[in-house]
Structure 1
């Protein structure tokens, strides 16, 4: 083979079909073996991906360290294979100039072939470190064939914490529960207002023994209330004597409290630092929202997000979600849901890949959860089911309930009916209402 174009052409073809250059060069046994292994591997990957789908994604989540090692190894192997494909074609027969040109092009092809594997290894390693930092390494271990322990639904408490630097403790300003059917993925999202008064605790619990008639405390300075639902976590953390000296009881106490209110068993919680969302939004390049009315923010009304479709920075989106100027807690709850939904919708795979390291870095300190790491491989496919099945949204806000004198029986009955669809079954998903204060962006 005396033409450099032919040499480079066969090398390029071997990037897509390893072994063909060896066949062309007369290395029939080696070429046939490499090509057969490659085609068999591709067939297995396609079959597993088609059959397993989201389950495969879940299993990979639990084995990201192995994925990183395997990807790195494959990248090196592919690089070596491309270079060897060039060598077996005997480029020494070419002129010196042709050898330099074809060798340089082969180097580019080798690096290009190895690059996707290197990026995959990098993303997997970063993801593993991020997951290890966010999720517990121990806890509930899923049983084979029954990862959710025979439960028909899993209930996850989703909290948004306003962790401002001038505040003491954890204030859970956004309180929602996602109840997911483990078979269909149908999800019911329950929203509870932060200012629920007189919340009840499970009988026999330390908080019930301390507050048998509901959570009531004397008003704080300037009439501030410290006995509302959003301060249960903080109170439990600040008063270990209620729990026999045990510390850090805030998360468990709030899970039990919300479970008592809704009549559900809360399995796990996630606490998101709402302030940390600004970093995530900046990392993906901002968030596009259609604001349907002006939103003023700041104690001195120093900021304004005008109505209209616009791309918000992280700081602007944070103010949009948190502002109560000329507004109230309920409007803020709806705007927060809008921001969360927009973030999930606009964090497209291409954006996530191109800004992966920045996004992973931004998650540091963003999330706290008691979901055990081993459960992730089962929750990922369940989340995919939930996305297809849709979400029914129930907000326990006025006029449905009074936050000062809540009808606990009505809340429980409504929650039970929402889960069963009113007929005892799983019930069809209903499209969620557009949040007040924003609207979906037109494609």
Structure 2
């Protein structure tokens, strides 16, 4: 009999987890029981409606409520824990034998902790997310360009263009070299996106007329060799050169990002809205946190100053370090193959990021992101960029890489680059009607972002 009563008590407490108030009704606390059950049904009904009608827009708006969500999750953790304990108490466990009291107490205590943990973890993850977002995305200064406008976050534009950069700054390196340079041009209505890739070794870079860099280099970016065969006047050095010469900008410092945005925009003939820079070497930590990436390596990739390392050909799971060497090695290769391999790594990362793994390593990954990520995207724009990212995920993403033989890096045809950019963007609006009508050869290749990456 005592065993049955103990089992029944545990059963009623467990039922209270999914139907709050059940134990109280059983114990005769009818007003409390009905109040708990009624309140729970109302909240559950509202939550069901929100979930049924939720979209990416709601997810974006939720980024403005992170503090409230954190507090709510913490309150729910305490409330559910207290509910289980009180349900146990009102069922009068004192009427059981001492052994029954100990067993039921331990079981119900474990149950209380179990139901509280998901809410506590949710509160922790949201708090970490807010700390990361607030660190990476700054509030725009008064009067600054780029924040959302009332009624139309895109200020009447049909496209937004984000400069995506991979750099390699660190304590053991001087300055920032932007070795990976791409622009994501996204249609704000459909999400159709063109990824425009520029080689790091583009020479004689032209700057916007009237800009400080154009006044300094009216005939293109050209510097003396700092040692025989070594050039620092290529596209990847524009950021660092601007940072190193604040006198060109009236003494203003840290002008590298804005200068590179204006330069890339001028080269392509489009407006660059924002930039996002990722420390490529720090990115290896993100890959390791995800458990590595499965990549198909088409041939042995040799790396190291003396060719002492190799990423063997074949399909395998690569560590963060090996994935980065695969993406960055120039030994026995060139910058254009390297650009292709970098796209393969980023595509694999997007495809293979497992939600369960991301959650299990969330705090670690967020801490890494705060150190390796830099951007000028205004914090208020995140609300609108989240639904746009959702559109991009389900839209067509093509790639146009300005590499030889399409474009000569030593003597770039700037007008052709602008014409091809305009065509790529125009074709992405109506992808089913894409035509290659430009007469100069070779013809541009508008390809899927994962083309040439091999089967995984």
TM-score (normalizing by structure 1): 0.94
Distance 1:82 1:426 in 2: 57
Q: Which moved more, 1:252-261 or 1:96-105?
A: 96-105
Task: Tell me what 1:388 maps to.
Answer: 394
Distance 1:118 1:434 in 2: 39
The answer on 1:427 being equivalent to 2:427 is: no
Task: Tell me what 1:7 maps to.
Answer: 9
Q: Is contact 1:278-1:317 (8 Å) kept?
A: yes
SS at structure 1 position matched to 2:454: coil
Task: Tell me what 1:146 maps to.
Answer: 152
Aligned-pair distance for 1:149? Answer: 2.0
Matches within 5 A, 1:294-309: 294-309=300-315
Matches within 5 A, 1:18-29: 18-29=20-31
Counterpart of 1:218 (choices 201, 215, 224) is: 224
Task: Tell me what 1:50 maps to.
Answer: 52
Distance 1:433 1:317 in 2: 18
Task: Tell me what 1:353 maps to.
Answer: 359
Unaligned regions of 5+ residues in structure 2, if any? 435-445
Q: Is contact 2:400-2:447 (8 Å) kept?
A: no
Task: Tell me what 1:196 maps to.
Answer: 202
Distance 2:381 2:32 in 1: 43
Q: Is contact 1:277-1:314 (8 Å) kept?
A: yes
Q: Which moved more, 1:76-85 or 1:89-98?
A: 89-98
Matches within 5 A, 1:232-311: 232-311=238-317
Matches within 5 A, 1:158-237: 158-163=164-169, 167-237=173-243
TM-score (normalizing by structure 2): 0.92
SS at structure 1 position matched to 2:370: coil
Aligned-pair distance for 1:196? Answer: 1.0
Distance 1:49 1:249 in 2: 44
Task: Tell me what 1:62 maps to.
Answer: 64
Distance 2:293 2:116 in 1: 34
Aligned-pair distance for 1:435? Answer: 4.9
Instruction: Pick closer, same or farther for the CA change 1:145–1:46 going to 2, 3 Å.
Output: farther
Equivalenced residues, count: 438
Q: Which moved more, 1:399-408 or 1:57-66?
A: 57-66
User: Could you give the per-residue CA deviations for residues 223-267 of structure 1, whole angstroms, max 9, x where no partner exists?
Assistant: 322211111111111111211222111000000000011111111
Distance 2:15 2:300 in 1: 58
After the TM superposition, list the runs of 4 or more consecutive aligned residues in structure 1 that deviate by more than 3 angstroms.
164-167, 425-431, 433-436
Q: Is contact 1:49-1:56 (8 Å) kept?
A: no
The answer on 1:31 being equivalent to 2:37 is: no
Distance 2:390 2:52 in 1: 15
The answer on 1:342 being equivalent to 2:358 is: no
Distance 1:82 1:228 in 2: 66
Q: Is contact 2:208-2:266 (8 Å) kept?
A: yes
Distance 2:414 2:100 in 1: 83
Q: Which moved more, 1:49-58 or 1:69-78?
A: 49-58
The answer on 1:414 being equivalent to 2:416 is: no
Task: Tell me what 1:439 maps to.
Answer: 454
Provide the alpha-carbon RMSD of the alignment. Answer: 1.9
The answer on 1:119 being equivalent to 2:121 is: yes
Task: Tell me what 1:41 maps to.
Answer: 43
Instruction: Pick closer, same or farther for the CA change 1:44–1:400 going to 2, 3 Å.
Output: same
Aligned-pair distance for 1:118? Answer: 0.4
Distance 2:27 2:15 in 1: 13
Q: Is contact 1:419-1:426 (8 Å) kept?
A: no
Q: Is contact 1:181-1:426 (8 Å) kept?
A: no
Q: Is contact 1:190-1:393 (8 Å) kept?
A: yes
